[in-house]
Structures are given as C-alpha cells and as structure tokens.
Structure 1
Amino acid sequence: MSVKNYQKFYQPLNAVHSADFNRCIYCGCEAARQDFIPPIKFIHDWQDGHLQADFISVPACNECTDLLKNENNATLEPRITVLKKRLAEKYKKAIRVFNHWSMEEIEEMDAAFQISLKGGMRLGKETLSRLQFAGFDYEVNGSITRVAKPQREVFKVFDEEFSSFREALAFASATYKIKKSRLSQLYFDNDESFDRAIEAFHGLVEGNP
C-alpha cells in the first residue's frame, strides 16, 4: 500500500511554537517521520465516516512510530495512551534501575556492574522524561489546540512530599528500613500509596493480617 496514494486524505498537524518544531508529538524526542492517524494500513476501516477518525499526520520519532504501527487507533489521544504504555513496558527494567539505585550505591560496585547500572540509569531517566512529556500546542487546518501543562505530581510519605517516585522511594526506604525493591512492590500492591505500603510491611513483619 503506497503512502503517497493516501497522503491526500490526511491533514498535517504542525507545532505552533518554534521550540516544538520537529519534535515527536508522543514523547518529545526528535521527529523522523509522519505517523498517520488512523494508520494508512487500516484506512479502509474508517473511510466510510460512520466512526470518528482524525485523518491527521503527526510528527513522530522512529521508535514511537514502530511501537504504534499495528495499532488501529483513529484519534490522537488513545494513540498517545497506548504509546505511553508500550514505552513503560519496553523499558520497565531501566526505569526500575533508575528508581531503585543511587549513584553512590553504584560507585560501590565492581567496574563491569557499574557500566551496566549506569547505562540503565541513563535509559531509565530518559524514558521517564518521555513518559512525562505532555505534548505541545498544535495547529491542524487552521484550528489551534492548546495543550494544558501537566499538574505537578506529588508523592507523599506520610507528612513528607516529593516531586518524584524515586525521591519518595529513597526517603521511605531509608527512614523505615525497608528494601527499595520490596517497598516498591508494596507501593503498587497498595493503591500506589507509600503510607499503606509501609503499614502493610510492618503488619507483615509483626505478623498481623
């Protein structure tokens, strides 16, 4: 299926501000190609007009385009949601390394292990930045859409507040003497609450149900 034969059905999405030119709409990395919404390979599913479809082409990086190539989404927002889930799953090990290790801890390891962990730290940090990317103001066929800035996420450990999961995990682990890996698991098992995770840990240690 030739892309050129179908491009005429799509309106280009363009960034409003020059700082966002050539930026991937999904993750903020440098754009390398256009992602078509709905994908050209599925265009015949949407052309009859009975279902809502954007019919736009958006700037995207190679990785995001590849991760979405088999997703039959016809509007932008569901496509963004799927992409974030795919990225998080693909790099979950790197994210775990970034959240669970500090540079001080890594420096105590042998050289080979340091190289591996530092690589994981860099990749995990980059992935979290891509996952947190909220998009940019854009224009399609003369109509401008403003993208709201994301609200600052706050992670609480009882009365303490932190701007990142990593910082909150490090504090809670050191303060309440719980291994980061165990505390992280309990956090997600207890409605993403550090308070409940810590209480659950002490309940298990003390033999309470």
Structure 2
Amino acid sequence: MSLLEQRYRQLRAIDANDFHTCFYCGCIATEFDFAPPKAHWQSFQYRQLSADNLQVPSCMECIKLLKGCTMGLVQQRRELVHTKIASKYKKAIGVFLRWNEDELEELDFSLHHSIAAGLKLGEESHRRSNYVGFSYEIDGAKATGLVPTAAPLKVFGEQYASVKDALVAVSKSYRINQAKLVEGMAKHDNNLEAVVMAWQQQQQHAMFQRELRKQCAAFAKQHKQSHRFVVNEIERYLDKDAELSIADALDKLYQERVKHYQPLVK
C-alpha cells in the first residue's frame, strides 16, 4: 500500500453477508473507490475541503461511472452513481415498472422473451439505483447514522416496500394501467397520489363531456337546433355558473334562446 493510500481509512462491512459488496450499488465488490480521488487528496487537504478520506468497496461498473468525479464525500459519490445507473438503464427500469410476470403469458414467444429480459435487467438496475448501503465500521469503530434507510412508500394511507409494489397495488385498486401510472409519475414528480387524482379528474371530465354531447344532441334533435350551437351555448352557460347542471343549462337555453324563436337550420 502506498503512502497516499495509507491516508485513507477503510470502510468495512460489519455483517458477514455484506463482505465484498459494493457500498454504492450492492453488487460484488472487486475494487476500491477513494473519496476523494487519490489524485485530488492533496488539493482537498490544502484547501480544507470536506472529504471522508475513505476507501470504499466498489464494483467495476461503479468505478467506471465515477470516472472524472472529484467529490470528496461518499454520500455525494453514491448519489451520483445512483443517478448514472438510473439513466444508463432507464429503458430496462421502465420495462420493470410497467410490466408484471403474470402479463407475459399473454405475449407471443419473441415479445415474451424480450420483455422478460427487460424485466430482469430492470429489476436489478432499479435495485442498484436505490441501494441504501450497509452497516459498516472504520478503524474498528462502528459508524452510526451514516447509512440511510429506505423509507416505506405511502399512497393514500397504505404502505409499500417499493415503488413496484405500490404500482402493482394501485393499478389493481384503481384500475389504471401500470404503464400509465409510470408515465404519470414522470409528470407529477414521482407522486403516485397526484397521478391517481389527475387520472380520476381526467376520467370525470371525459364522462362529463360524453354526457354533455349526449344531452345536447337530444336537445338539438328535439328542438331542431344546430348541435354545435347547442353545445357552444351550454358550455358558455356552464363556464359562467359552475353550479348549473347540464339539464339546468339546457332549460335556460330553451327559455332564453329557443322557446320564442324559429328553429335554426341544421
């Protein structure tokens, strides 16, 4: 070990099950990452910048993902790794979140094989990009409060161990396609409750529009009016008074514009 390397303390797993495990992503560790990088150690010391001065067990891929990173804190370096893994395997993670094993039986052989492979890679990548590390010691002293724990995900009062579990449960409970939920999370800052509420609002709006067209069509036919004219006028009434029902608006239209005038030509 070089003199420079001796200036770094070694982060060691406490539990035997975590020996030879990458602290950043949970894969098999074959290398050491240095926080800060060895080439920048003297700069950190001279400028008195925050640095952990730790050797961190890492896998080869995480070492490659950290190439060029000059951050001196292990937590900063882990967050960067997670971001890069999520970006590198974005498509596979998307497959994992959108599909379930029980849906594969409905697919033909070629698509089944492709989706199954994506599910496997996506599950591993999703786990790695959310890995919380393990309990460890430094110079024989147990480190406390440095390893974050995965907080359970709450959706409308229900707790789930993972995003995937929440997606599956919410999809079944609210009858929303799982892929639609994933797409919605990208638009609503990963807030699954907001996705569900937005979807419900969209469904209510769609139902209202269908009912509006249905009632306006019946009114136009009965009173020999232009369908477009009726729809436009009813929407105008409803915009002015949110308390009006479609039936109330139609009655108002009849009293104000239809009752005392000649029918309009279609």
Question: Which TM-score applies when normalising by structure 2?
Answer: 0.68
Unaligned regions of 5+ residues in structure 2, if any? 209-266
- Write the deviation string for residues 54-113 of structure 1: whole angstroms up to 9, x where unpaired: 222111111111111211111111111111111111112111111111112222212122
More RCO (CA 8 Å, sep 6+): 1
Larger % of helix: which?
2
Q: Return closer, same or farther for 1:136/1:177 CA change in 2, 3 Å cut-off.
A: closer
- Rg larger in 1 or in 2? 2
Answering whether residue 152 of structure 2 is matched by residue 150 of structure 1, we say: no
Q: Return closer, same or farther for 1:161/1:74 CA change in 2, 3 Å cut-off.
A: closer
Q: Please give the secondary structure, in 2, of the residue aligned with 1:23.
A: coil
| Equivalent residue, structure 1, for 2:108 | 110
Q: Return closer, same or farther for 1:84/1:115 CA change in 2, 3 Å cut-off.
A: same
Percent identical: 31
2:25 and 2:128 map into 1 onto residues whose CA distance is 5
Alpha carbon RMSD of aligned pairs, Å?
2.5
- Write the deviation string for residues 88-146 of structure 1: whole angstroms up to 9, x where unpaired: 11112111111111112222212122221111111121123223332222222343203
Q: Please give the secondary structure, in 1, of the residue aligned with 2:46.
A: coil
Q: Which amino acid aligns with 2:171?
A: S
Answering whether residue 199 of structure 2 is matched by residue 201 of structure 1, we say: yes
- Write the deviation string for residues 144-172 of structure 1: whole angstroms up to 9, x where unpaired: 2035572541241x354433322322333
What does 1:1-209 align with in structure 2 at a 5 Å threshold? 4=2, 6-146=4-144, 150-156=149-155, 158=156, 160-205=158-203, 206=205
1:178 and 1:120 map into 2 onto residues whose CA distance is 22
1:142 and 1:159 map into 2 onto residues whose CA distance is 42
Q: Return closer, same or farther for 1:171/1:134 CA change in 2, 3 Å cut-off.
A: closer
Question: Which TM-score applies when normalising by structure 1?
Answer: 0.84
Q: Which amino acid aligns with 1:126?
A: E
Q: Tell whether the 8 Å contact from 1:169 to 1:183 is kept in structure 2 after alignment.
A: yes
Q: Tell whether the 8 Å contact from 2:97 to 2:182 is kept in structure 1 after alignment.
A: no
